[in-house]
Amino acid sequence: MQRYRFIVSGEVQGVFYRKFVSQAMMKKQFQGYVKNLEDGTVEVVAVVFDEDFDMVMQILQEGSPASNVKEISYQIIQDADFATDGFEIRY
């Protein structure tokens, strides 16, 4: 189990991308959050087991029907602010 920080770029703001990701991640029972960043990208922080990494990447790549994901970068992080037992949209 690792904590990951994903940065998703492309057409991902104003197209229901956060809602799509939040619902898909909740359905699969992941913990974390999704948040728009000021530079037009979206940040996703999630606790992911090794066997679920590809599933998370697929959810982030698919996005909402109106989104157009260009790139997903990620890193393993040590700390994350999880104030929820589920997956939430942060503002």
Inter-residue contact 89 to 35 (CB < 8 Å): yes
Residues annotated as part of the active site: 18, 36
pLDDT score of 79: 75
Rounded mean pLDDT, 58-73: 98
pLDDT digits (tens, 9 = 90+) for 7-61: 999 999 999 999 999 999 999 999 999 999 999 999 999 999 999 999 999 999 9
Question: Nearest to residue 19, comparing CAs of 35, 5, 8, 32?
Answer: 35
Would you call 3 exposed, middle or buried from its count of C-beta atoms within 10 A (0-12, 13-18, 19+)? middle
